[in-house]
Structure 1
Amino acid sequence: FEIPQHIYDGWDARKRGAALERTWNDKFAAYQKAHPELSREFSRRVAGELPANWSAHSERLLEKIIAKTESIATRKASQNAIEGLAPVLPELIGGSADLTGSNLTLWSGSKPVSREGAGNYIYYGVREFGMSAVMNGLALHGGIIPYGGTFLTFSDYSRNALRMAALMKIRSIFVFTHDSIGLGEDGPTHQSIEHAAALRLIPGMDVWRPCDPVETALAWVAAIERKDGPTSLLLTRQNVPFQKRDAHTVSAIRRGGYVLADAQEPKAVLLATGSEVQLALGAKQKLAEEGISVRVVSMPCTSIFDRQPPMYRDVVLIPTLPKVAVEAGVRDYWRKYVGLEGAVVGIDRYGESAPGAKLFEYFGFTVDNVVKAVKSLLK
């Protein structure tokens, strides 16, 4: 189509824009001379680069977490990770949609943004979509890495903003706690069933569901280091056991899926995420007592695992072996890994109001049920 010249001229702001840019560049050049260190820090943040000591700092934090061997909820492990990483990231701006005390998104250096002055933490109120949209705006502005928290079920309210973050390939970090029926008495309105799978289906969204403090810390590191898209962190309300790993296994976590516990000549492969990893490991032990060896694969981030070379994926999953996936969410998503002939210990209905441990037992998230699923494939 054709734009009339007088319309084009009326909207042509190139000369004015060029003049404004020259003025700004002149002011910044003067600022660089007057404040060289501050100007370098400004340029670093706007460029989206991490501090020079970032890698060393994050490695030291990981070593401390491994040494502690804590069995805590991954939402608490997330708070510990923020506490450890935020001091070297002044560009990190946090917040929560009226659930700060539950999401555990505060750290000791958090200062609320308020009428009284600037800060690095935003109390958004019950505004999940508003929070996520503001986070996207902060990321687009540049010089800021935003994160914000709510319950995983309430990610539905944020859906448009989550999709836009992925579409725009921006570094927004969405913290979603209370990630399954494990949250307990709040009942089915608050218990996530389809949400992990739904988030994984958003192109460009990396979704982490870590099983312990080590995976949680590495999920945070990966989210902060990622410059080409958003990350969702799915975290438990309930405590989960610490998992022992050697250095090679720890490094493999960054690949999204890895062999957590192996066996000689395994007869099957167990895949699990988050709070269900402990069930897979318990099933492995019980099966071993019956002379059945299995491999346990922890897959905290399926999207990163899917981006690995085919050879790595085959080495981890062993295509020729039957597979059982274990996750407190809908079953269908895991068919891409276990196939139609495999088994999935999952849940395809809404939950109930009861203590989390009781619900896990009621809905079949037990070691015995995982053992039963493995045996059903080996007949």
Structure 2
Amino acid sequence: HALAEPHLPPEEELTGPWSPTARRGATTRRSWLRRFARHRLRTAFEREIQGQRPALFEEDWHRACHWQMQSAEGHATQDAGLAGLRALSELLPELVCLTAASAYRLDLAAPVALPATQQARARLLPAEQSCSIQDHGMAGMLNGIALHGGLLPCCAASMMTVDRMRSALRMAALMRRKVLYLLTGDGLALGDGGGGWQPVEQLASLRAMPHLAVFRPCDVRETTACWEAALTWQGGPAMLLLCPYENQHGPLPAPAFGTPSRGGYVVKQEEMRQVTLIASGPEVAIALKASHHLARQDIRATVVSIPCWELFAEQPASYRKTVLGASGLRVGIEAASGFGWERWLGEEGVFVGMDDFGTSAPANALYERFGITVEAICEKVRAHLLTSGAERGSSLRTPDQPRTRVRGPLTTRP
């Protein structure tokens, strides 16, 4: 039957069964193309459809971001991340922001939506679209916007609600669509309202998703760099995990080697390092303070920040080796599950973090409960070096032994 059909015009060969519809819309399309050819916004429209940045975007981005950072209420990564979003909205008219009620929580203890008046005052952007508590529907809408093209979809929600959005997020990663996620409330101590609203395994599960770039910055400077890296990430969605609490251990120094835009870099460099303290997010400040305490005990500790595993894994092996060090003890520090940290620590490494669900307690008690403190880290490092003999100077390499975890502050036996 197919051989008996007469030869079709080229346009109908392409459209197939849709050829009658194509013939009906041909006149309308030709008329639209004629108007588009002489329209004054043709260049901007083509740029948005192709997903390209405007001219002088880098200069305008740094200027707008700097101004928004100055007007931010605090210096936490959550304040910096939302300030970056406002700066981005001024430069990219194609940005579409959807927000969930969980992004506006004040007490950070339970997913309570604010009244309409308070929610209006707490808006992130003037033209944002609120999705209330429908986080799963919001994530699906983001995929639809990304598939439509010409728009840059973005959303803001709580870190703990990512499980409601996981199916749509996975589909965005599967289709390799550009979607931006800003997850607020990333932190161990989210108040006294319940340990169920403290992320434990979410971070590891997100890092395991292909084509998804997960950024967990530690300060304002790193947040800005992560924003830039997220915008340039190709082939999938990008996610920023933002903490609402400011660093209580003082400002971080300028990078000693590398840059945050490469996914990992050296915060503090030590010659002939014995220990490499590797952390992300707020725990970088804890690692830096622990290195100062170790220095008083004649233990040379280098501090490394890895805000994005995906970007760091794409760097040359020589760069990763320089950042992580070729020898010495590696210690991972993160207020989350240690699943997957073997990738950077190796079999001889030590992880300090969480291996159980959170509990209802203030910040200090929770960090002490899981041993994510300067004192517990230093004691763990010293005990490991004494056992391996590295502290006595016999060798900077650690012996083969299984990776261990810290559940709480260590105590010495009498």
Question: Normalising TM by the smaller chain, what interval?
Answer: 0.7 to 0.9
Residue 25 of structure 2 is aligned to residue 20 of structure 1: yes
What's the offset of the Cα at 1:131?
0.7
1:143-185 CA-to-partner distances (Å, cap 9, x unmatched) read 1111112221211111111111111111111111112322122
Secondary structure of the corresponding residue to residue 199 of structure 1: helix
Residue 56 of structure 2 is aligned to residue 40 of structure 1: no
Name the counterpart of 2:87.
Answer: 84
Q: Which amino acid is the alignment partner of residue 284 of structure 1?
A: S
Determine the C-alpha separation between the residues in 2 that align with 1:327 and 1:124: 31
What's the offset of the Cα at 1:217?
1.6
Q: Which amino acid is the alignment partner of residue 95 of structure 1?
A: L
What's the offset of the Cα at 1:69?
12
Choose the corresponding residue for 2:160, options 153, 156, 160.
Answer: 153
Secondary structure of the corresponding residue to residue 17 of structure 1: helix
Name the counterpart of 1:170.
Answer: 177
Identity %: 32
Choose the corresponding residue for 1:74, options 70, 74, 77.
Answer: 77
What's the offset of the Cα at 1:362?
2.4
Structure (1 or 2) with the larger CA radius of gyration: 2
Determine the C-alpha separation between the residues in 2 that align with 1:238 and 1:67: 17
- Which deviates more from structure 2 when the two are superposed, residues 344-353 or residues 58-67? 58-67
8 Å Cα contact 2:213/2:310 also seen in 1: yes
Aligned residues: 362
Determine the C-alpha separation between the residues in 2 that align with 1:194 and 1:62: 32
What's the offset of the Cα at 1:102?
3.6
Name the counterpart of 1:116.
Answer: none
Residue 151 of structure 2 is aligned to residue 135 of structure 1: no
- Which deviates more from structure 2 when the two are superposed, residues 355-364 or residues 274-283? 355-364
Structure-to-structure mapping, 1:1-379, within 5 angstroms: 12-14=17-19, 16-17=21-22, 20=25, 23-33=28-38, 35-36=39-40, 38-61=41-64, 72-102=75-105, 106-107=123-124, 109-111=125-127, 121-240=128-247, 242-245=251-254, 252-379=259-386
Q: Which ranges in structure 2 are unaligned for 5 or more consecutive residues? A: 6-12, 107-118, 387-414
8 Å Cα contact 1:182/1:237 also seen in 2: no
Shift in alpha-carbon separation, 1:283–1:70, aligned structure 2, 3 A = farther
1:223-262 CA-to-partner distances (Å, cap 9, x unmatched) read 223232101111112112542316x85x711100000111
What's the offset of the Cα at 1:4?
12
Shift in alpha-carbon separation, 1:139–1:22, aligned structure 2, 3 A = farther
Q: Which ranges in structure 1 are unaligned for 5 or more consecutive residues? A: 112-120
Secondary structure of the corresponding residue to residue 175 of structure 1: strand
Structure 1 stretches (4+) deviating beyond 4 angstroms? 2-6, 61-71
8 Å Cα contact 2:189/2:361 also seen in 1: no
What's the offset of the Cα at 1:374?
2.0
8 Å Cα contact 2:191/2:363 also seen in 1: yes
Determine the C-alpha separation between the residues in 2 that align with 1:342 and 1:284: 17
Shift in alpha-carbon separation, 1:318–1:198, aligned structure 2, 3 A = same
TM-score after normalising by structure 2: 0.80
Name the counterpart of 1:114.
Answer: none
- Which deviates more from structure 2 when the two are superposed, residues 96-105 or residues 81-90? 96-105
Determine the C-alpha separation between the residues in 2 that align with 1:282 and 1:70: 26
Determine the C-alpha separation between the residues in 2 that align with 1:137 and 1:27: 24
